[in-house]
């Protein structure tokens, strides 16, 4: 993801390209959700103005992945509680 980000940082509509590519990679399970979140949190992904600017649109995907992981964490806890009750 970092290499893709660095490549599209210098392109016209690089922010849209990065968002589309990241979304498609997640949809196809080519990249785990955790991998995208790790990339997002990596300090290298926000070094310099170009890197920050090109990743701005991808914030919506990160928000979705964070919300989705929170939902799955809650459902995992619910399943564990149900198993404990049995």
Q: What is the pLDDT of residues 22-40, one digit of tens each?
A: 999 999 999 999 999 999 9
| Residue burial 45-54, b: 16+ Cβ < 10 Å; e: rest | beeeeeeeeb
Distance from C-alpha of 77 to C-alpha of 42, rounded to nearest angstrom: 28
Residue whose structure tokens are 């049995």: 86
pLDDT for 6 beyond 60: yes
Write the pLDDT tens digit of every residue in 39-56: 999 999 999 999 999 999
Please answer whether residues 18 and 8 qualify as being in contact, where contact means their C-beta atoms are separated by less than 8 angstroms. yes
Write the pLDDT tens digit of every residue in 49-82: 999 999 999 999 999 999 987 776 666 555 555 5
Distance from C-alpha of 8 to C-alpha of 54, rounded to nearest angstrom: 7
Tally of domains within the chain: 1
The alpha-helical segments, DSSP class H, found in the chain are: 2-8, 14-27, 33-41, 48-55, 59-85
Q: What is the domain range of residue 75?
A: 2-85
């Amino acid at each position: 993801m970092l290499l893709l980000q660095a490549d599209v940082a210098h392109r016209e509509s690089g922010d849209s390209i990065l968002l589309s590519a990241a979304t498609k990679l997640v949809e196809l399970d080519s990249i785990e959700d955790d991998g995208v979140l790790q990339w997002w949190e990596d300090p290298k992904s926000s070094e310099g103005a170009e890197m920050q600017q090109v990743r701005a649109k991808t914030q919506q995907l990160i928000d979705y992945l964070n919300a989705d992981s929170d939902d799955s964490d809650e459902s995992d806890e619910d399943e564990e509680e149900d198993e404990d009750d049995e």
